């Protein structure tokens, strides 16, 4: 959604209005409703520099994990026991975490911005 990529709150409002006026809005009405309802929660997002904002809106690790777990659960029959279910989920989580070694796109730029904004929270440079 273009709202994420703009530079200011005013531009975000304009992008949201433009989204509402095209066919996507009719197809995804809950998105528009949610943005309007939670607009006060969206506005603080624009206080961050673009590098940090990009990391925030493209990184949704928890939802990704949940989606992968749901997919595995849906495609399997009921496990024979709770222990079997636990083992299945453990194996899925192990496979998911193997992929965590690769850095998110533009992570370095975001970390540099975080270090500037929150210098007191960093104990050593993340370059």
- pLDDT number for residue 109: 80
Question: Whole-prediction pTM value?
Answer: 0.51
Percent share of the chain, pLDDT over 90: 4
pLDDT, tens digit, 9 for 90 and up, residues 49-85: 887 777 776 656 677 788 888 888 888 777 778 888 8
The Cα 4–Cα 42 span in angstroms is 10
The Cα 34–Cα 20 span in angstroms is 12
């Amino acid at each position: 959604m273009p709202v994420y990529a703009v530079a200011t709150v005013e531009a975000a409002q304009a992008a949201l209005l433009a989204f509402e006026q095209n066919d996507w809005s009719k197809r995804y009405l809950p998105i528009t409703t949610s943005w309007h309802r939670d607009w006060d929660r969206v506005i603080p997002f624009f206080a961050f520099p673009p590098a940090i904002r990009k990391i925030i809106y493209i990184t949704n690790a928890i939802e990704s994990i949940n989606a992968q777990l749901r997919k595995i659960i849906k495609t399997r029959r009921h496990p024979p026991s709770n222990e079997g279910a636990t083992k299945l989920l453990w194996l899925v989580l192990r496979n998911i975490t193997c992929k965590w070694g690769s850095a998110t796109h533009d992570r370095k730029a975001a970390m540099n911005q975080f270090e500037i904004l929150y210098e007191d929270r960093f104990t050593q440079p993340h370059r």
